[in-house]
Amino acid sequence: MSDLDRNYVSPFGRAAGRVDAAAVDAGLRAYMLRIYNYMSIGLAITGLAALGVYMAAVTTDQAGAVAKFGNAYLTQFGYAMYVSPLKWLFILAPLAMVFAISAGINRLRPATAQMLFWVFSALMGISLSSIFLVYTHTSIVRVFFITAASFGALSLYGYTTKRDMTGMGSFLIMGLFGVIIASLVNLFLASSMLQFIVSVVGVLVFAGLTAWDTQRLKNDYIYGYASEGGEIAEKAAITGALSLYLNFINLFTLLLQLLGQRD
């Protein structure tokens, strides 16, 4: 019997329509690979932007420094980035970009959406560059590899598990809002214990979101983009990469708060 005459069955036993199963499998692999490639390039841009800004912001010339931040001496550029009110622009800019990409993705061309993702990644790197002033460089590298290994295992689980994780979505989103609210409250309380609790809960939430998002992206392709393709699938790959990228970045920063060694 021809492959065109049989239904593709998902890991949950649901039919995805009368399509070529082998074509869906190949398309799914290419689609997920495209998502991971976009995410990896975004992370690379973030890392290079963070390192570049940090190197331009600090100096070993104490006489020529305009300010001191912890144990580091800042250049005029560093003062503008980390001390002056301009710092709030780069702290809030990535958040604004996320809303812009998410809200406008249906109206954007794939090339435009891709470029906005690269810009967002660079802005995120700029906003994260201050971690080099707070934590030792060795601990940053160590936590990055811990995050990468954890993220890879969680995403692989989400891709391969036969368990339907759909019901976890609402619970994880509620947990995410709880983490955000607690973090905002702690800006005023400055409680180290509350910060520790937020970091631990946040790691659990983003670990769950990593597996859940991976399965969601896989199912979105099987039950929708496999038959549509084209620009729709390409834009979906970009927004999917954005989701996984944000999970990785948040997992990294929270683990850094728990495991990082302060400079």
Q: Smallest Cα–Cα separation from 82: which of 97, 68, 92?
A: 68
- Whether 158 and 215 have beta carbons less than 8 Å apart is answered as yes
- Residue 59 pairs in a beta bridge with 73
pLDDT (tens digit, 0 to 9) for every residue of the chain, 263 residues total? 333 333 334 443 444 444 467 777 888 999 999 999 999 999 999 999 999 999 999 999 988 899 988 889 999 999 999 999 988 888 888 888 888 888 888 888 999 999 999 999 999 999 999 999 999 999 999 999 999 999 999 999 999 999 999 889 889 999 999 999 999 898 888 899 999 999 999 999 999 999 999 999 999 998 877 666 678 889 999 999 999 999 999 999 999 999 999 97
**121 neighbors 49 (Cβ within 8 angstroms):** yes
- In this prediction the pTM is 0.88
